[in-house]
Structure 1
Amino acid sequence: MPPLLVALYVLALASFALATAPELPKVGPVSILADNDLDPSTNKYSFLLLSTKLAYKDARNACTQLNETLLSFSNDTDFRNTAKLLKYRTEPRHKSGLYWFNGIPSNNSDSHVCQAFSIDGPKLLIDVACKIRLPTLCTNSPNTSAILHPNPEYQIEIPTKQGPIRGFRDVLSFEFRGIPYAQPPIGKLRFAPPNPVRYTKVAGNRTAYDATWFRSVCPQLQAGAVTGWYIDEDCLYLNVYTPALGNNRYRLPVLVWFHGGRYMEGAGSDVIYYGGNLVSRGNIIVVTINYRQDAFLMLCYLLQSQNLTLGILGFFEDEKHISRNAAPGNLALRDQLAALHWVKENIASFGGDPKKVTIAGESSGGTSVRSLLITKNASGLYRGAISESDPLDLGFNTPSISGLLTQTIMHLVNCTNLSCARTAPVLALLQAQSEAISTISKQRRDVDRFGAFKPSIDGNLIKEDWAKAVESGRFNRVPIVYTTTKDEALDFVAPNSPNLIPVENLTSSVAEFLDANRTNIILSSKFYSRSPNTTADPDAVRNELGVIGTDYLFLCPTQYFVTKMADRTPVYEGQFERGIGPLLASNVCNNRACHGGDMAYVFAPFVLAQQGLISPSPDDFIMARGIGDRWTTFVTTLKPTPRGYKEWPKVTKNKPYVLLLDVNVTVSVGAGRTKVCKFLTEKVGYDFKYYS
């Protein structure tokens, strides 16, 4: 991080530390209610609801403790919005339907008479005795989301099993950032499974843990470009976004999000995963986590390269030479399990229901969901799953492949034991990894040079490959949503082929990820063209590669698996027809639904438009509202169809129904690719079968 940013960062932390945070027990249960249309150009009407019934004077004081005042209404729209939001809340309402606000009684000469707001009767404003006890409506002064700029004035402190934790609120939600869920995996704990956090209580010392800022992200080369925060091996932290605190009688469902990034980059604190929008519209809790990945601590400007990453950190294993007791492997998966255990033990303190957890992720985050679906250790930690853009064609690594990669890297850095590997110089490990992947991927087609390190069939957490588990029914049978994007593979074509590709190079380009035999079968079929028309479309070759890659890696293997799972559990399949986001590969993805282009519709971080990172249209806001509402409805009910929305049909064994996700959704069978997928399944075969 540049020195100026470090200085500003330290000043920001100092301002947070100086602020006084009200304690939740003193104000009782509190919720943020917001009318959020996801359009960053509109003002977000937002207020606080204090559920504890108080007399008018005490209600006013409770608002003051939160640095707020009793809510005032400036026009009829405020009245209507307030009533609508209060009625929308799904927790049981008190019987009278009356709330304290900053009202003036009709007879203001009587100091014993106050005015309450009613959401049930023919009158909105009712004179009542000031001494009666009612819930309270307070202002919520933050006028923006804290996606980029947290406000130190609006902190709040809550009691937890870990001790008091201090967070803050913005216009949409309460946020608690950088909470540790495991001990730092450093020193002797590098390559070890995550250890529980140790909390020591000192008599008379109740200093709250400061959860007002994101902690370090797990080692990777490009962290600052997206997250804005620093990188370090001490990175096992999570973030909680919640609309309500302190209500022990009514707890909210929880979405736990695993970020994508090919197990090489990304973090739960990436601005693209800001949880406030899902929280405010869906009345759920969102948890985002960091976990160990392929990358390792080394800034790109030190290496003068952006092509080196250290995969050994997240998936170090070599069972032939190193005991699994010392280096069990699958560390990313173990971190995710540790985070889910943290949620089970602690989420109630943040208003969440540990029995109503849905796991979700995109890309490698979707692969993480896949891993957890066949991990018995994860059973009971979640009740639903959402997997977006998981390349289901690719199976897990075998122990022999993982061991070969690990042993080759250790040999190149002159290490023969685990102690040496834990202290090996970072640069030496980086250079060794790059050389090992390059060498082994040329010798073996089952080692992907772009994602060599991935979950492994370790015999413990993952006992068999995904395909065998699904075919035999050995997976956690929970309702599942699977989605892909219409132009997934273009996101990978563009970086490898930044310029137009001549027609004569199509065959060799396909053979980059398929063997010669399967390449010939595909290009000789009626479904694809060996000689696309570059006169009509100068970019026809890259587009053809995108279609082949999308069908083969994503869409068709997804349909293969969902139809096999449909008899055993409810499965829903969707395809994003639109895409938007700062992570799109190049102009080849403009106005296309490329890999990663769905994230802006799920989390709706459209405030990034103010920084020029994305350019959403009004139709994008409409679609994001639909996607967010479907996702949060699934988290709440395990069915992805909100009231008033078009029905999302379940997949059946013989009908791969696909909801085509756009401004106006439609239902398709197989996204129009049923015959293509049958051809790929029966005549070509997927990698998970070739390399099982």
Structure 2
Amino acid sequence: MAPMAASASLFAFALLASSALASPIVSDLGNTNFLARRQSSTSVSTPLGTAKGFADGAGVRFAVSYGSAARWAESIVATSWQLPNNATDPSKMPLLCPQSSVDASEYAEDCLSAVLYVPSSVTSDSNAPTLLWIHGGSFNSGGLTNPGLDGMQLAQTTQSIVVVIQYRLSALGFMAPNGAMNLAVKDVVTSMKFLQIVLPSFGGGASKITLAGQSSGGNMIRALLAAPSASSLFQSAVIHSDPMDYGFLTGSVQSLLQNNFNSLLNCSSIDTACLNSMSLSDILNASDQQFGNAFTIDASATQSEPMRPVNDGTFITTTLNDQSDFPRVAKPILLSTVKNEAAATTYVAEPSFLSTSGYQQFVDWFYPQPKAQDLLASSFYSVPLLADGTAQDARVPLEQMGTDGIWRCAIWTFARSWAANGGKAFVGEYVLGSHYPFNDGVAFCQENSSVCHQDDIYIVFGTAPSPTSSQRALIAEVQARYKAFLHTGNPNPTSGGYATWDAATSTDIPALLLGGSGLVSAGACAIDFWGRKIPYDYQLWHD
């Protein structure tokens, strides 16, 4: 596949922009004041040894190393229960996986850690479901201490065990010099194998794991849905804001990118001693160069997720889109987006009013032809006139274009395919959220009517700071639907008076408004527009 000129989309760096705006990763789990609560030690006997936890009135939190891995080797399941990073204090949260966005004191290469939130409502004989949360961050940043990821309230409300994990990031997870692929994805497999061993000791069902994740965490889940060897390890999935427009990397593109990364190292790709002696600082520097330049080697790398899951044909065996035969599927899935997914990118790239002519230049520059021309000609993304005859700020249709193309419509197309091949897919859109710290630098995202990328996280976990009555109502609804889904595979609670959430069909997406009433208007996500008249990036980039 030949590289395309420039970036195929203004929004190819959408998630990168969001990450770049981020405040430093915090270790206090957002605004929940988790560590300040009254706590006492609690121990649980597991097949791997005694688990020492830290308790409060709502339950007990257990930090653990779920696996280990030599540098650029596949991870293996832990054979004993160990606190992360050689800690002796069970209240201590794990260090992050190596990433250049934080100080070196905050990360460790030995980082395959998890935190289990076990509520008081789950007892030893509960056989409770488990929600396994996979954090986002463009596969380049973040961890289980991202703001708001205190899982105790969510666990208590859903009567489940909530587990938040972290996995190897950037080059350490996706750019093994020897060509090994998908190491980070296999880290998640390792975590699930570990959980199957220990969950019954905490009152969890070993076979009742539901994967959930946001942004690149959602992409990770999609990769696991495409990996037959992982299928038996989880029962269902919840995917938030996955940029499905990008698709997986192909093997040929990964090879190009791997060759480039290897050229940035002062070691031969087969000199294990040299590679193992490299400092994390040098590896992160090379990784950052790769992250910033990969899209110039091949546009399908994107500026947002240049190191991501690869359709390698052995572990990941399908594209899960129309670039290969879509497999028969059975797992129920929840798929959601937020109203303004592309806002951070749009309003940072163009911080002031955008004229109609400027809008046309943006689209012409960042999309290939004839895609750009067809988008500009569409009524979906025209620049309307205001009452006084002047043109509206063109950032409004530009943001909608990015939201539709990268996230919303690509996810709707995926849902139709999932339904057509035997699975149930429930689709929703958050039109109410809670402003997430990583969007603090974007004025648009602070407006009450905006729901930007990541603004659904506080809602799901019930950790919104000073929630309004509307936010509290949405938290209650979302967690009631999560509870129903975790226990039954259907997000419709038997009580609460919530609207019926119908599954998608091969032709119809009854997408539920989350934080509103009724269904989402299809608009540009109609079956005959995105993916047919307007190609997704993966349709342009496939081998």
User: Considering the TM-score relative to the shorter chain, is it more than 0.5?
Assistant: yes
Secondary structure at the residue paired with 1:273? Answer: coil
Distance of aligned partners of 1:172 and 1:247 in 2 relative to their CA distance in 1, 3 Å threshold: closer
| Residue 171 in structure 1 maps to residue 23 in structure 2 | no
Q: Which residue of 1 aligns with 2:67?
A: 182
1:539 deviates by: 7.4
State whether structure 2 residue 536 is matched by structure 1 residue 691.
no
| Structure 2 CA distance for aligned equivalents of residues 200 and 636 of structure 1 | 28
Give the direction of change, closer, same or farther, for the CA distance of 1:549–1:169 in structure 2 (3 Å limit): same
Identify the residue that residue 106 of structure 2 maps to in structure 1.
230
Which consecutive residues of structure 1, in runs of 5 or more, have no partner in the other structure?
Answer: 1-8, 13-39, 41-144, 202-206, 295-311, 610-614
The answer to whether the aligner puts 1:491 opposite 2:344 as a matched pair is: yes
Partners of 2:424 and 2:526 in 1: CA distance:
25
Compared with structure 1, are the counterparts of its residues 548 and 250 closer, same or farther at alpha carbon in structure 2 (3 Å cutoff)? same
Matched with 1:451 is 305
TM-score, with length taken from structure 2: 0.85
> Does residue 216 of structure 2 align to residue 364 of structure 1?
yes
State whether structure 2 residue 159 is matched by structure 1 residue 274: no
CA positional deviation for 1:231? 1.3
- The structure with the largest alpha-carbon Rg is 1
CA drift at 1:270: 2.2
Provide the residue aligned with 2:117 in structure 1. Answer: 241
One-letter amino acid matched to 1:527: F
413, 431, 453: which one pairs with 1:577?
431
Q: Which amino acid aligns with 2:66?
A: Y
Unaligned runs of 5+ in 2: 1-26
Q: 2:45 aligns with which of 159, 166, 169?
A: 159
Larger RCO: 1 or 2 (CA < 8 Å, sep 6+): 2
Q: Is the 8 A contact 2:122 2:161 kept in 1?
A: no
Mean alpha-carbon deviation: is it higher for 420-429 or for 376-385? 420-429
User: In the alignment, which residue of structure 2 is the partner of 1:586?
Assistant: 442
Return closer, same or farther for 1:511/1:166 CA change in 2, 3 Å cut-off.
farther
Amino acid across the alignment from 1:219: P
- Tell me, what secondary structure is at the counterpart of 2:180? coil
Using the alignment, how far apart are the partners of 2:268 and 2:318 within structure 1?
Answer: 29
Amino acid of the residue matched to residue 447 of structure 1? A
Cα 1:646–1:165 shift into 2, 3 Å? same
1:542-581 deviation per Cα after TM superposition (whole angstroms, max 9, x unaligned): 2221100011111111111111211301111111111222
Tell me how far apart the structure 1 counterparts of residues 350 and 379 of structure 2 sit (CA, whole Å): 25
1:271–1:690 distance in 2 versus 1, CA, 3 Å: same
CA, structure 1 residues 269+437, in 2 after alignment: closer, same or farther (shift >3 Å)? closer
8 Å Cα contact 1:634-1:640 kept in structure 2: yes
The percent identity for this pair of structures is 26
Q: Who is 1:290 aligned against?
A: 166
Matched with 1:191 is 72
User: What's the CA shift string for 1:206-237, capped at 9, x where partnerless?
Assistant: x997532211111123457xxx9821111111
Q: Which residue of 1 aligns with 2:230?
A: 378
Letter in 2 for 1:181: Y
How many corresponding residue pairs? 502
Q: Which amino acid aligns with 1:315?
A: F
The aligned residue for residue 626 of structure 1 is: 477
User: What is the deviation of 1:384?
Assistant: 1.0
> Of residues 437, 454, 457 in structure 2, which corresponds to 1:599?
457
Per mean C-alpha deviation after superposition, the further-off stretch among 376-385 and 189-198 is 189-198
CA, structure 1 residues 537+412, in 2 after alignment: closer, same or farther (shift >3 Å)? farther
| Cα distance change on mapping 1:487 and 1:215 into 2, 3 Å | same
SS at match of 1:620: helix
Q: How does 1:69-468 map onto structure 2 within 5 Å?
A: 147-152=34-39, 154-177=40-63, 179-183=64-68, 185=69, 189-199=70-80, 210-223=89-102, 230-244=106-120, 247-294=123-170, 312-317=171-176, 322=178, 327-418=179-270, 419=272, 420-468=274-322
For 1:362 and 1:229, locate their aligned partners in 2 and report how far apart those are by CA, in whole Å: 26
Q: CA deviation at 1:385?
A: 0.7
Equivalent pair of 2:136/2:216 in contact (CA under 8 Å): yes
After TM superposition, give the deviation of residue 293 of structure 1 in Å: 1.1
Paired amino acid for 1:314:
G
Give the C-alpha shift of residue 148 in structure 1. 4.0
> Contact 2:409–2:525 (CA<8 Å) still a contact in 1?
no
Cα distance in 2, alignment partners of residues 335 and 532 from structure 1: 51
Secondary structure of 1:355's aligned partner: strand
Distance 2:386 2:100 in 1: 39
The separation in 1 between residues aligned to 2:199 and 2:366, in whole angstroms, is: 43
RMSD: 2.9
The DSSP-based 3-state class of the residue aligned with 1:360 is: strand
How far the C-alpha of 1:429 sits from its partner, in A, is 4.1
Return the alpha-carbon distance in structure 2 between the equivalents of residues 514 and 317 of structure 1.
32
- Kindly provide the amino acid, as one letter, of the partner of residue 442 in structure 2: S
Q: Match of 2:512?
A: 659
Contact 1:164 1:208 in 2 (8 A): no
Letter in 2 for 1:218: C
**Counterpart Cα distance in 1 of 2:360 and 2:184:** 36
**Offset at residue 332 of structure 1 (A):** 1.1
Contact preservation (8 Å) 1:650, 1:657: yes
Closer/same/farther in 2, CA of residues 596 and 401 from structure 1, 3 Å limit: same
Looking at structure 2, the residues matched to 529 and 157 of structure 1 have their Cα atoms a distance apart, in angstroms, of 61
The CA deviation at 1:363 is 0.4
Q: For residues 248 and 410 of structure 1, what CA distance do their matches in structure 2 show? A: 49
Instruction: Give the deviation of 1:643 after TM superposition.
Output: 1.9
Q: Deviations over 1:9-37 (max 9, x none)?
A: 9xx9xxxxxxxxxxxxxxxxxxxxxxxxx
Work out the CA distance in 2 between the residues paired with 1:279 and 1:435. 40
Please say if residues 479 and 570 of structure 1, whose CA atoms lie closer than 8 Å, have aligned partners that are also in contact: yes
TM-score (normalised: structure 1) = 0.67
